[in-house]
Amino acid sequence: MGASDHEPDDDHERRPVDHGFSPDDPMQPILTMQEESAPAIDAGLIRSGRLAGKSMWAAIGILAIPVLLQQTLTAMVGLVDKMLSGSLPDAIVVPAMDGVGIGSFVGWFVSIALGGLGLGGQALISRAMGSGDGPLAEKALGTTITLGIVWSTFVGLAMWVLVAPLAWATDLTPDASRYAIEYVRTMSLGMPFCGVMMVGSMCLFGAGETLKPSLIAAGVNVVNLIASWLMSGVNLRFGESVLPNPSGVDPLEWGVSGIAAGTATSWVIGGLVTVWVLARGVKDLRLHLPRLFPDLSVARRVVTVGIPTFFEGIAMWAVNLFVLGFIGEIATKLGQEGADETQQGGLVGAHIITVQWEAFSFLPGFAMGTAAGALAGQYLGAGNPAMARRAMAACTVIGVLIMSAMGVAFMTLGEQLTAIISDQPVHLAEAPRLLFICGTVQAFFGLSMVLRQGLRGVGDTRWTLLITSCSSYGIRLPACWLLGIHFELGLAGIWMALMGEIVIRGGFFLARFLHGGWTRIKV
């Protein structure tokens, strides 16, 4: 057996071996020296979990491929909602698209609010797996799940209360505001289950288990498609083909609420299945009922990592709220210049269609970033910062290459991609050129996505908060106002500013990675 194949005992302690020599045997000093140096054989190897004993490239594949599948299916939930919205009767389709678009913005807030907590659990579990500390991993799992239930319930209440002021702040038309409120408040009913699903999946990522969360996401996507379709009463449109809805529900009355109800139903199913998976357990990690009573010291460590991530997300969310306000201002100006109401109201919808397709380019970046954070975190837990750096760099290169290829698709297939969601003239006029702008910087987007997610995954959340906040408020916000409003370049100008900031932010994250301070972060 080679040195790289050696695995430590379960309790990770070396026991003296009886070699059959007496204490005064001349060979005894040599044997004793070999025993004392034996722990060095295990130095830097991941000691527990699914990644134990795996090569770096095998571990990346184990982590990244299922996460990519999971995130693709998760993005499909949002795409299905928008496809159904785009298939609503012509009398309401434009304001409904704008309302669901704001609902998607609220959904982004949900991922921010829960992602920070889940990331804290993931970081602590990945370090515990790397060092072979099973009890700590199980404490972190139980504590994080309980915190996730409490926090997601609070988030659901906040969604219910704050959606009306949000609709007002983004200058939606009265009809679009009503649809936004219906959509968000219906979804908020499923938030506790969404919290369990999201936080539980991230804890599994920390243990190196990504296949089961991806299968859960597949089930959630199927439930969402069927439930949202039936509850909305919408005839689902695929280009020229139409699939009639057999439910008999009036889409003019229940269309938007039904779409949201289907999403909430899928969250309930996903949350329950996630609890079942965690209770059954995965390799070296299982949810035990007594562990659901939070361990205060562990909770403090989870929250310490998660709070900067939460505020980082809030910083980005708030900046993009201002951006939506800029878009509303552009739409108002169009109205003053004599543009019809459809053209004014469709700008938010065009923006959200572009964001929805852009979200698919996030997927390989998020998958590779998740792999980078989980694997680098386990290597750091095993005391091997050199392998942590190699893993982060390898994941970044792969993410950049894949996202660059997707950028080419955005630049060449903008009209076809837009038409999948909506055939409204205002959307077909605006969204393709926004997708072209987006496609030009996907390589830098990949650099930013993978490194940011990787650094967050190893617990370097304070620096990611600093970089994101400074870039968002120091560059993104003023650039959007300057190009979109001051120079009157409209929605295209805003997207030029958004993508320019992405390029600069990618450089900041690259500098932090090369600095190497993240390898010394304690979780």
Please check whether residue 2 lies inside any domain of the structure: no
Asked whether the predicted pLDDT for residue 86 surpasses 80, the reply is no
With respect to residue 6, please indicate whether it lies within any of the assigned structural domains: no
Note the pLDDT tens digit of each residue in 158-202: 889 988 888 787 677 788 888 888 888 998 999 999 999 999 999
Judge whether 130 lies within some domain. Answer: yes
Q: How far is CA 191 from the centre of its chain?
A: 16
Q: Which DSSP symbol is given to 238?
A: E
- How do residues 95-141 score in pLDDT, each as one tens digit? 777 777 777 677 777 777 788 888 899 899 999 998 899 999 999 99
CA distance 351 to 495: 9
Region of poorest pLDDT, from 187-196, 296-305, 312-321: 312-321
- In a domain, residue 402? The reply is yes
Q: Is residue 515 part of a domain?
A: yes
Dihedral angle sign, alpha carbons of residues 176, 182, 188, 190:
negative
Query: 273 in a domain, yes or no?
Result: yes
Whether 362 shows a pLDDT value over 70: the answer reads: yes
Can you tell me the distance from the alpha carbon of 112 to that of 158, in angstroms, rounded to the nearest whole number? 13
Do 330 and 485 meet the contact criterion of CB atoms below 8 Å apart? yes
Question: 151-165, 316-330, 333-347: which range is least confident on average?
Answer: 333-347
CA atoms within 13 A on the CB side of 169: 13
Tell me the pTM.
0.74
pLDDT band at residue 18 using 50, 70 and 90 as cut-offs: very low
CB-based contact 119:107 (threshold 8 Å):
no
Mean pLDDT score across all residues of the chain: 83
Give the count of domains, the chain.
Answer: 1
Query: 136 lies in which domain range?
Result: 56-520
Contacts of 429 (CB under 8 A, 6+ apart): 350
| 248 or 10: which leads in pLDDT | 248
Residue 19 lies in a domain: no
Beta strands in 254-324 (DSSP E): none
**For residue 44, is it within any domain?**
no
What pLDDT score was predicted for residue 17? Answer: 39
